[in-house]
Amino acid sequence: MSTDKKDDKQPTYKKQPTYKEEMKKLAAINLPKFFLGWAIFTLVFIITIPYVLFKTKFYSILEAYLPNLDLIATVLTWRNGPYNIWNHFYPSPIYNYYGYFSQTIINYMALLGLTFIITRETKKTGSMIKGWSMAFVMLLMTYLLPAQFISMFMDYSSDYLKIQNPAINDIVIAFLGFIITIGVISMEAYILKNYGHILEYGVKHIMKIPKLLKK
């Protein structure tokens, strides 16, 4: 008489990493690559492109470009760039101090560019209304709207296109991200150049509100 042997072998489960281990993995950084990414960004996007725009007298594009360094950093940070040189460069969310300071410096440079342009325009025209009207557009299109939209657009494009080769996929999506960024910068320059008088008219009436409230 034969008896069936029961399989007493217990199923094995792969140990899941703890939250602390997962955060440690996400915070890991290669410092030589990190600083190489910063060097390339500085040379190309902070020095070369503004210099070319200035020399070719594309001043309106330059004015719109300088406050939008954060948008360029957003595109570069998507998928961390080639060989992960832009990992933790402009992160969202932030996992370590390098990412925090890197993001802060980029935001600071963008804001310095914005405030310089507004101050220069105010001094040149002698009109606070002129300078403030520019701020209405530049703050909105530089800080409040585009960055998250660009990231979501790139994620959606990657899911939609489903390019099998990872390297080609990243190049195509980064190219699309730069197209959107150039579109935002061009639109900002166009609005400031062609609709500045409308913005000034609106700001002029806004500045009258405190006087009306005192009555």
Helical H segments across 1-95, by residue range: 19-27, 31-41, 49-55, 59-65, 69-77
Q: Which of 10-14, 75-79, 125-129 has the highest mean pLDDT?
A: 75-79
48 sits in which H/E element: none
pLDDT of residue 205: 78
Give the tens place of pLDDT for each residue, 118-143.
888 888 888 888 888 888 888 888 77
Cα 161 to Cα 152: distance, rounded to the nearest angstrom: 14
Residue 93 is classified by DSSP as S
Hey, how many other C-beta atoms are within 10 angstroms of the C-beta on 155?
13
Domain boundary assignment for the chain:
27-214
Token duo for residue 163: 């390019």
Does the model's pTM come out above 0.85?
no
Closest listed residue to residue 75, CA positions, set 165, 161, 182: 182
Mean pLDDT of all residues in 21-37:
88
What tokens does 178 get? 């730069």
pLDDT of residue 210: 74
State the Cα–Cα distance between residues 108 and 95, nearest whole angstrom: 20
Q: What percentage of residues in the chain have a pLDDT greater than 70?
A: 91
